Chains A and B, each alone.
Chain A
């Protein structure tokens, strides 16, 4: 580690390429904390949006017309308005309305980023799962109903296992989009990767170097996700289904 730091220090002195995150302790800490928050934000929103996505999909199959309609309205609303404006709306417009706890707002910028991104991603996940559900043959659902499965049983035991497999590539895409969307946290000062990097480059005046590091980092994260999802897709594959 020390030799790496020494090498990057030498690189700066020799060529002027200033990668402070490798030898300056404070910058390194900031950068990796930012990376951690980006990953944490992505993971939390991923889990929440999957859970809520399944719930919304379940409600979309409800027998009550108004429930189906309102879920449809929710999905369309969040899919067709700018994510940045949604985040601003929650943070600046809804945020101040919440009561404060010991002088501090209940939800900080990270909290609001989680709320806004979860609502956005749930809409996307539900839409993807709905398409997956539509790919399940009607006869399969009817057969399950004829065997006396209840509505919830049909959804959880027959439809979802098949729909999830069909939706896997789209969900992977969605996850990649989610990681990319976490950069919007920058706008409300969530100390995620982009925000941390912007602080580093405004203090150290090393914009080109940090930009390249930033791009490489995001592309590495996305590449890793693609690999893992590809492996997951392979291991969940059903012979003769969803190819």
Chain B
């Protein structure tokens, strides 16, 4: 008898196949159409709801003598927009610089000369693994505020220095993307081009790289979105971009009830700018993956 009682009460289903059919309640991870690109309206609406909710809450707390929260935000919107424009300018210039340098570095990564390849690898590793903020500090503190070339003195304003600082990690990542894209081109293309008497430079610039452009586009756009979000770091080193402007507004208004609405407002701007890019990136990725 003792043998019976020692049997485990809940035996593992040895013949699970024999159990009555239990239909799964839903498509557990089987519905893969949604992907994650479905949510643009919902997410935007949620952010807007949080923003308006915070405005309303702040409004309730405000005393009658104070101006309405929405009115204050609207009043400062031109200044904030100017700050945001600064972010966009920094992001575009940094992306251009980063892409130009990244293409060269990426080509060095696939060079036939081992020393070139090795040193390019080192540079890429360095700038990919160093934190953005530390690189930004590095450039801000260690680059002179003006450079003199012969007779000309070129001033380097803070925004330009922070742009250069932000373009460094972009450069390293673009270099990796270039390398990946060059590697993804079938080697038959190289052989075919070589048999048609193209030299290495011609093969790269006329045959391989044009095909890489399409493959790189999603990753490149993704990095642009990341860079745009990283431009806010420039506020830490004293560039008057949108977050610095928020600081000015808060100092001018001296109202703590403004904090949540104003940060939500800025988050909303960034979201509206970056999310469509991310969404389009994903759509491009999906389209290219099909082929």
Contact = CB atoms under 8 A, between A and B. Distances in A.
Nearest to B39: A72
A154 B42 contact: no
6 contacts: A63-B28, A72-B43, A76-B43, A183-B132, A218-B134, A219-B129
Contact of B32 (A93, A134, A219): A134
Nearest to A214: B134
B19 to A, nearest CB: 5
Interface stretch (B149-157, B190-198, B271-279): B271-279
Interface string B11-27: 00100110100101110
A7 interface: no
Given A72-B36, A183-B134, A194-B133, A82 B232 contact: yes
A230 B236 CA distance: 34
Contacts of A62: 26
Interface stretch (A25-33, A48-56, A105-113, A141-149): A141-149
A73 interface: yes
A85 B262 CA distance: 11
B46 A207 contact: no
Interface of B: 13, 16-17, 19, 22, 24-26, 28-30, 32, 34, 36, 38-40, 42-43, 46-47, 125-126, 129-135, 137-138, 141-142, 225, 229-233, 235-236, 243, 256, 259-260, 263-264, 266-267, 270-271, 274-275, 278
Contact of B46 (A73, A134, A215): A73
A61 B134 contact: no
Interface string A196-218: 00100000000110010011001
Nearest to B276: A80
A75 B38 CA distance: 12
Task: Name the prevailing secondary structure of the A interface residues.
Answer: helix
Q: Which of A79, A136, A186 lies at the interface centre, i.e. has the most chain B CB atoms within 10 A of its CB?
A: A79
B263 A85 contact: yes
A231 interface: no
Interface residues of A, number: 62
A9 to B, nearest CB: 24
Given A76-B278, A183-B132, 17 more contacts: A63-B26, A69-B39, A69-B42, A73-B39, A73-B42, A76-B39, A80-B274, A85-B266, A138-B30, A141-B28, A180-B129, A183-B134, A186-B236, A208-B142, A215-B134, A218-B130, A219-B129
A141 B229 CA distance: 38
Contacts of A92: 259, 263
B278 A94 contact: no
Q: Which of A77, A149, A222 lies at the interface centre, i.e. has the most chain B CB atoms within 10 A of its CB?
A: A77
A219 B263 contact: no
A138 B13 CA distance: 23
A72 B134 contact: no
A96 B24 contact: no
A208 B140 CA distance: 11
Given A83-B229, A85-B243, A218-B131, A96 B259 contact: yes
Interface string A55-81: 000001111000011001101110111
